[in-house]
Amino acid sequence: MARGIEGRAFIGGKLTDSASGDVLTSYSPIDGRPLAEVASCGVADVNIAVDSARAAFQDRRWAGLDPSERKRVLLTFAEKIEHHCEELALLETLDMGKPITDSLHCDVRATARTFRWYAEAIDKVYDEIAPAPTSALALITREPLGVVAAVVPWNFPMIMAAWKIAPALAAGNSVILKPAEQSSLTAIRLAVLAAEAGIPAGVFNVVPGYGTVAGKALGLHMDVDGVFFTGSTEVGKHFLEYSGRSNMKKVGLECGGKSAHIILSDCSVLDEAARAAAEAIFFNQGEMCTAGSRLVIDRRIKDQVVGMILAHADTMQPMDPLDPACRLGAMVDETHTERVMGYIDAGRREGGLVIKGGGRANPVDGGCYIEPTIFDNVNNSMRIAREEIFGPVLSIITIDSVEEAVRIANDSPYGLAAAVWSDNVNTIHTVSRSLRAGVVYANCYDADDITVPFGGYRQSGIGRDKSLHAFDKYTEMKTTWLQIR
């Protein structure tokens, strides 16, 4: 077994084994080999982490600093992330299988940028004075929630964590992060770097372990003020229940999606649309909440566009994720690989026609790989059109009108993202206003920046990550009346 990759929890400013001594083994999906033993935290560890976060919040060792001082520390943290970019990228790729080039240029950079952006915001966001009656001064101020838990998935382990931790820390909270069991290594490393940057002990804790144990303990804890979750819709609903069963803690949810990628016949850049359609489903092995997993395409242009998508798929065959040329890496683990293969079987059984891929691949022995897979002849009632597959599997649904495209796009329990390609600005406006989705892309897909809110309608979640709106999640709003004498 590889030795030396840190797998201990980070609680109260120190690396620590779990109280029970229990560990879970992290395997690399690249070749199936064990990577590290990771602390498997239980209720006792969560209790210690919450106590330590509460103590840090109570004595205001972080929340009480001047905004310019919190900003300085978080900027130092962002610099450290950049300084350790190769190490963090390698850990991420080894642990969850994404292409090393993406880890380096997308994940680590976006993580550093997220911390930098919220650090810069701290001393630029003002509170409010209400236009109340002149006999009084009514102040509307934002205060940190207190002890904030973040429970995150494995598909973008660092970025998903940063979207929550950066605004939470910037606002002055103490944070406890529960990474996914498949991808704890970068979370632990980030906590160590944060401490080196000057984040005080107890302010940023990491409790790796199982969701049903450590995640649930955070959700049910009576002294956690808010829990912010990214993951599946099914588990997201558990957090609402945990909150109701415990202290009515604030809950934020970023959950699944089944996003429609609509290409209309008046689109003049079909080559661009085809490239975007392939990237939208095959980037990150399709392990993307915003994956454009339903291609909703006008019959008149379908054959031409699908031909181009097939050609793009050829250039995205699974490779060793450590090869800088890799564009489609390993699936996160064997269980998830089998789950995705189960959907491919279901699609075949329900009458979908596989026109590309459909099988496992083996670029590295012992690893978890699936070919880019495309189904034609899909109707929107099939499981592969309704359920989130979270793999490189595209379902093509053919339409004959704009109205039909919108109806099908909206016929989903989810509402995370959607896209429309058209040359007509009126059509774009009409369609984008009709789409029940938190993010709409017009003539592009997966445009992204920390400056814009991100999250979903319907069962894709509650609340928004990113942008200054994220502060709404991590703060309480207080009204203070000052009577003028």
The residues of the shown chain that bind ligand NAP, judged by CB under 6 A, are 151-155, 160, 178, 180-181, 210-212, 215-216, 219, 230-232, 235, 238, 254-257, 289, 388, 390, 416, 456, 461
Nearer to ligand NAP, 45 or 298 (CB): 45
C-alpha to C-alpha distance for 334 and 353, rounded to whole angstroms: 25
Closest CB 177 distance from Mg ion, rounded Å: 17
Helix, strand, coil shares, percent, the chain, to 5: 40, 20, 40
Q: Which of residues 250-289 bind Mg ion (CB under 5 A)?
A: none
Nearer to Mg ion, 26 or 459 (CB): 26
C-alpha to C-alpha distance for 485 and 479, rounded to whole angstroms: 19
Please, which residues bridge with residue 253 across strands? 229, 462
C-alpha to C-alpha distance for 240 and 49, rounded to whole angstroms: 22
Closest CB 113 distance from ligand NAP, rounded Å: 17
Closest CB 401 distance from ligand NAP, rounded Å: 30
The terminus-to-terminus CA distance of the chain in angstroms comes to 73
CB atoms within 10 A of CB 414: 27
Nearer to Mg ion, 98 or 113 (CB): 98
- From 18-26, 47-55, 359-367, 375-383, span contacting Mg ion (CB under 5 A): 18-26
Sign of the Cα torsion 95, 101, 105, 110 reads negative
Closest CB 155 distance from ligand NAP, rounded Å: 5
Selection from Mg ion, ligand NAP, none that 95 binds (CB < 5 to 8 A by kind) is: Mg ion
Nearer to ligand NAP, 169 or 180 (CB): 180
Helix axis angle, 157-170 to 85-96, nearest 10°:
130
Nearer to ligand NAP, 262 or 389 (CB): 389
Largest CA distance in the chain: 79
Closest CB 28 distance from Mg ion, rounded Å: 6
Selection from ligand NAP, Mg ion, none that 26 binds (CB < 5 to 8 A by kind) is: Mg ion
Closest CB 166 distance from ligand NAP, rounded Å: 15
Selection from Mg ion, ligand NAP, none that 144 binds (CB < 5 to 8 A by kind) is: none
Selection from ligand NAP, Mg ion, none that 238 binds (CB < 5 to 8 A by kind) is: ligand NAP
Closest CB 414 distance from ligand NAP, rounded Å: 9
Selection from Mg ion, ligand NAP, none that 392 binds (CB < 5 to 8 A by kind) is: none
The one catalytic residue in 86, 196, 241, 254 is: 254
Helix axis angle, 157-170 to 67-83, nearest 10°:
160
In 282-357 the beta strands, taken as DSSP E runs, fall at 294-298, 353-356
Helix axis angle, 270-282 to 299-314, nearest 10°:
60
- Return the closest-CA partner of residue 46 out of 186, 172, 223, 199: 223
The helix or strand, by DSSP H or E, that contains position 167, with its residue range, turns out to be helix 157-170
Select from 16, 26, 265, 373 the one that contacts Mg ion (CB under 5 A): 26
Closest CB 154 distance from ligand NAP, rounded Å: 5
Per-residue binder mask for Mg ion (CB under 5 A), 86-105, x = binder: ---------x----------
Residue at shortest CB range from ligand NAP: 211
Selection from Mg ion, ligand NAP, none that 210 binds (CB < 5 to 8 A by kind) is: ligand NAP
Does 182 bind Mg ion (CB under 5 A)? Our answer is: yes
Nearer to ligand NAP, 184 or 265 (CB): 184
Angle, alpha carbons 263-264-268 (nearest 5°): 95
Selection from Mg ion, ligand NAP, none that 390 binds (CB < 5 to 8 A by kind) is: ligand NAP
**SS3 at position 34:** strand
Q: Who contacts 57 (Cβ-Cβ below 8 Å, separation ≥6)?
A: 63, 144, 146, 147, 173, 174
- Dihedral Cα 214, 216, 222, 228, nearest 10 deg: 90
| Whether 254 is catalytic | yes
Nearer to ligand NAP, 218 or 344 (CB): 218
Selection from ligand NAP, Mg ion, none that 225 binds (CB < 5 to 8 A by kind) is: none
Nearer to Mg ion, 45 or 95 (CB): 95
Buried-state track 138-161, b at ≥16 Cβ within 10 A, e below 16: eeeebebbbbbbbbbbbbbbbbbb
Q: Which residues bind Mg ion (CB under 5 A)?
A: 26, 95, 182
Which of the residues are catalytic? 254
